[in-house]
């Protein structure tokens, strides 16, 4: 991935990990289009880095079409698409129907709809790069937040499918899977965040540096918290033991 002069889109780029990614990518010479539902935040970050603001909904079909059309107008073509926008509803099966639907639309369908518009042109020119901000919840689990956990697992699965299907034709797909990151989102995780996420939380800027450094190696998993690889392997090798450990953590939350 040659970032100098590359055309990049970052959704959810007005705050948190997204804003940190925008700044890091711009520092490396990328031309960045900043999308965020918060128009003021999108414009502020874009102005800061000399980029282009494309505020709006990066989840709905119409919204994704607008963001990508604006990006192509500004960049010519999109070299790297960072599907970073996400939400983290809490609760279990009792969570409102609307919360489950929002999680599905923002955390999963935003990626599907972007890929639908990007893959064709990328295949024609033989290259393209898709970065999914999935979180460790997509590899493991997020206690206390079933809509978030389930939708992030789906996003992870879609990224795997994309990599398997198009990787031999020049499209690189990578998954960013951090645990706790010091953003507004972590402040809304309640006791679960206090107990499990905040003790080892990273600054968004550190996550962005690790991520942008990893764009060049093409490895599917980008793990700012290296221990996630160990947890993921344990989950696969001894699922019952891993689930027993998760139940013990749940007892502490209860």
Q: What is the DSSP letter of 181?
A: B
CA angle 154–159–162, rounded 5-degree value: 125
Helices 16-27 and 39-49 cross at an angle (nearest 10°) of: 20
**Straight-line distance from the first to the last Cα atom of the chain, in angstroms, rounded to the nearest whole number:** 45
Mind listing the pLDDT tens digit for each residue in 52-104?
999 999 999 999 999 999 999 999 999 999 999 999 999 999 999 999 999 99
Residue 192: is its pLDDT beyond 80? no
CA 244 – CA 133 distance, rounded (Å): 28
Decide: helix, strand or coil at residue 222.
strand
CA 54 – CA 174 distance, rounded (Å): 23
Q: What are phi and psi of 4, to 5 degrees?
A: -65, 110
Higher pLDDT, 81 or 1: 81
Q: Which helix (H) or strand (E) holds 188?
A: none
| Residue in 45, 53, 55, 4 with CA at minimum distance from that of residue 23 | 45
What does the block give as tokens for 10? Answer: 């970052």
Residues in the chain: 254
CA 153 – CA 134 distance, rounded (Å): 8
- Tell me the CB-side half-sphere exposure of residue 22, using CA atoms within 13 A: 32
Chain CA centroid to CA 142, Å: 15
- What pLDDT band is residue 166 in, cutting at 50, 70 and 90? very high
Q: Which helix (H) or strand (E) holds 184?
A: helix 184-187
CA 123 – CA 171 distance, rounded (Å): 7
Residue 166 annotated in active site: no
Mind listing the pLDDT tens digit for each residue in 37-46?
999 999 999 9
pTM above 0.85, yes or no: yes
Give rounded-to-5 percent helix, strand, coil for the chain. Answer: 55, 15, 30
Average pLDDT, the chain: 93
CA 90 – CA 201 distance, rounded (Å): 19
Residue 194: is its pLDDT beyond 70? no
Candidates 148, 166, 231, 232; catalytic one:
148
Per-residue pLDDT, averaged over 166-174, amounts to 98
């Amino acid at each position: 991935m040659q970032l100098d002069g590359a055309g990049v889109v970052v959704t959810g780029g007005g705050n948190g990990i997204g804003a940190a990614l925008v700044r890091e990518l711009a520092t490396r010479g990328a031309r960045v289009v900043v999308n965020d539902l918060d128009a003021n935040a999108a414009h502020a970050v874009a102005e800061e880095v000399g980029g282009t603001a494309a505020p709006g909904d990066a989840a709905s079909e119409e919204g994704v079409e607008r963001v990508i059309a604006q990006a192509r107008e500004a960049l010519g073509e999109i070299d790297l698409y960072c599907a970073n926008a996400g939400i983290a509803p809490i609760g279990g099966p009792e969570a409102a129907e609307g919360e489950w639907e929002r999680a599905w639309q923002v955390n999963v369908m935003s990626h599907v709809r972007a890929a639908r518009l990007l893959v064709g042109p990328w295949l024609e020119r033989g290259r393209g790069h898709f970065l999914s901000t999935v979180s460790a919840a997509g590899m493991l689990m997020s206690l206390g937040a079933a809509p978030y956990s389930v939708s992030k697992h789906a996003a992870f699965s879609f990224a795997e499918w994309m990599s398997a299907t198009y990787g031999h034709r020049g499209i690189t797909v990578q998954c960013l899977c951090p645990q706790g990151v010091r953003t507004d989102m972590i402040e809304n995780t309640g006791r679960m965040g206090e107990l499990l996420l905040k003790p080892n939380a990273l600054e968004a800027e550190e996550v962005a540096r690790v991520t942008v450094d990893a764009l060049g190696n093409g490895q599917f998993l980008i793990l700012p918290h290296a221990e996630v690889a160990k947890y993921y392997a344990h989950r696969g090798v001894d699922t019952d033991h891993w689930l027993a450990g998760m139940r013990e953590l749940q007892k502490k939350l209860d």
